[in-house]
Structure 1
Amino acid sequence: MSSITYQRISKFWNVAPSSVSESLRKSLLKSFFDNNDGLCTLNFLENVLVDIQHAELKLQHEHTTAVDLYRIISDLIKKLEQRLDDHYFGNKAYMILNSLKESDKNKAEELQQSFESFIKVTIEYTNSYFDKNRNFYEKLSVFDCHFPRFLKWEYIMDVLDLIKIDDLDKDELYNEYCEIKFMYNNLKNKNVKLNELIKSYILNKNVHNPQSTTYKEENLLCDDSDNEDFLLRDNKDTDENVRFDQLWSYLINLKGATPNIKKIICYVFSIPCSNAYVESIFSQMNHLWTNYRKRMDIQLVAAELQIRKNSSIPCNDFYKSIISQQDLLKAITTNDKYETKRRICSQ
């Protein structure tokens, strides 16, 4: 057991770590894990924290945006509220509580009340951050294909009032909206799987060198950025697992010219729902702009960062692509790229 874990447990038992012998430490821990109260609490936490971790991992995805936020947080709160309504804290905790009711009814009730209090505090804490912008995130969910308001014109107008994009032709936007909506409804009514269409579209979009490039199809639609995917995997054969940023990309590509819809989608889906994506940029910058590369100009750093974040070409294919472009190689090996700098110095 780590020292941090021990310190937490010893603090719980009001024992100073420096004054506890090894034998007493083991005795205290054994009494905790042999005690029904402790086991019941641990089983409760193990069961409930999965829901919270599930939501947390979704929020950490690089493809998660503000459009996802309302659904993710609302689903978490609904699950926690449902647990309160059903008084369900996990099967093992349920069995221990039932056993305790026969031997110590007051203790069982005390534990149950503490579990309910934990869930209530979690909901209140989540709402304390979410409520400030709940209305904004709820309106953005009109672009979420899993949400009842998806493609409802009145809610799209609400979003336009919030984000205020310049140079939008709303009359033309409505025509584009109708065409997109009819096209989406037709796709849903056909005897085809929407997720398969999108998967094919993304594969074709990403293929650069079929001879050397392979892609994991299972990662194209869901959960492609976490090491703990097992918590998030569902049945990928259903349309419920369509990622709606990819859906919008597919619909806009299928429709063709939709400049007004595209402006809105680009704006809305560029809003991050957490600082996870921003932190990933800083992580990239730690390797990109080091003391050994400090003379790089800001535009070059920005270009390399964009390539790192947006390109899905494997390194070998990227290398082959570069060496196959003679004009690019010539520009790299000459001083043409420093023309602007030379001109400034000569003035």
Structure 2
Amino acid sequence: MLKCWPAVKAYFQKLGEDHCPPLIWRHIDNEAGEKDYSTSQTYMMFLQTTLTPIEETVLILEQDALTAPELFEAMLRLLNSLKQRKADSFFGTETDKALRKMPPSKARKVTQDFLKFFEKTIAYLEAKFDFSEKNHLCALTPFSLKKSVTYDHLRCAAEQLKMEKIINLDNLYSEYTDAKSLMDEQVACVDPKITVDKKWVAIFSEMGTRSHKCENLLLLVSKILSIPCSNAFVERVFSLMSARWTETRNRCNVDLVKAELQVKVNFDMDCEQFYHRIIGMPESPAQSFGYVLESSQQRCCCTEDKLHSGN
């Protein structure tokens, strides 16, 4: 929009007040005399800079791999970023340049609008999300394995999730001491491709190799990682289901649609890769699939023979 703004503004100004939508005309009416700056363009430059951390957070929250321990930290990072921008009156480099070209009275008014944007955005976030330590998500943050995990972190998480009667805290401490070095290794791993759940899988796999008990720790971590962070994944599944359960396929039963969704969501292979994957499976699945494929090919051949023979 910023790149196209001169052309867009010229188009609506050419339409004139009688034909231009009132809301748009209100913003471009006085810009004819703004030779060194554009008020509307300054607002857009501010939004381009300020909305970047918000957009980044939204993309994080929409990720399928996002886990509950990462949720609180992502929201807190966004809140702190907006508060710091407001405290420093940071509106972006290009925005600051535009403000310096404005008359002082105009620049003060625009600056106040920017500060009000920060105030309302911060107030909205604090009203919709609990940033206090009482939020159970705060107690789960250490399980993202970005910092060293202590036994107090495990105990607090068990208390927040009301799992004291399910988990033996004494045995949990013993399991913690066995897993401490493994957790520290994962904390030191900063590879962004390794997600939180994969790090915990590596920890429990190694504990199993060493014949260490991890029943209570596994139960606690499983509970934490099973907490949904948003409904984005569910909404995506509904969208995929609507694309497959159409009016032309209204006789499909639930099991068929469910199987198609499971394949679509859980596999990233193309048809050829899926074929070789199934063929390479042991015992009955590969044999059954091969039999079906062979039967289908035979039916196709018989059909072609009939077509050629004219029957």
Same fold (TM over 0.5): yes
Q: Which has the higher contact order (CA 8 A, sep 6+)?
A: 1
Give the ranges of 4+ consecutive aligned residues of structure 1 lying more than 6 Å apart after TM superposition: 25-28
Query: Which residue number in structure 1 is paired with residue 201 of structure 2?
Result: 249
SS at structure 2 position matched to 1:89: coil
Partner Cα separation in structure 1 for residue 43 and residue 228 of structure 2: 35
Deviates more, 1:127-136 or 1:40-49: 127-136
Q: Which amino acid aligns with 2:61?
A: L
Tell me which residue corresponds to 1:181: 180
Q: Which residue of 2 aligns with 1:43?
A: 45
State the one-letter code of the partner of 2:274: F
Task: Say whether residues 1:286 and 2:239 are aligned partners.
Answer: no
Q: How does 1:138-217 map to 2 (within 5 A)?
A: 138-146=138-146, 148=147, 150-165=148-163, 167-185=166-184, 194-195=189-190
Are 2:219 and 1:263 equivalent residues in the alignment? yes
Pick closer, same or farther for the CA change 1:323–1:64 going to 2, 3 Å. same
What is the rounded CA distance, in whole Å, between the counterparts of 2:244 and 2:160 in structure 1? Answer: 36
- Find out whether 1:322 has 2:274 as its counterpart: no
Shift of 1:138: 0.7
CA distance in 2, matches of 1:135, 1:329: 49
Contact 1:322/1:328, CA 8 A, preserved across alignment: yes
Q: In 1, distance between residues paired with 2:241 and 2:107?
A: 53
Larger Rg, first or second structure (1 or 2): 2
* Alignment partners' CA distance in 1, 2:221 and 2:250: 36
Which sections of structure 1, spanning at least 5 residues, go unmatched?
197-220, 223-241, 335-347
Q: Provide the aligned length of Structure 1 versus Structure 2.
A: 267
Structure 2 gap ranges (5+): 293-311
SS of residue matched to 1:251: helix
- State the Cα distance separating 1:307 from its structure 2 match: 3.9
Residue identity over aligned pairs, in percent, reads 25
Match for 1:254: what amino acid?
E
Q: Distance in 1 between matches of 2:259 and 2:166?
A: 28
What letter is aligned with 1:163?
L
CA offset at residue 153 of structure 1? 1.8
1:54 to 53, 56, 78: 56
TM-score, length-normalised on structure 2?
Answer: 0.72
| Cα displacement (A) at 1:314 | 4.3
Q: In structure 1, what is the Cα distance between the partners aligned to 2:99 and 2:141?
A: 40
Q: 1:172 to 1:315 in 2, by over 3 A?
A: farther
Query: Counterparts of 1:260 and 1:307 in 2: how far apart (Å)?
Result: 33
Say if 1:21 and 1:67 are closer, same or farther in 2 by CA, change over 3 A. Answer: closer
Paired residues of 2:279 and 2:287 also in contact (CA < 8 A): no
Letter in 1 for 2:272: N
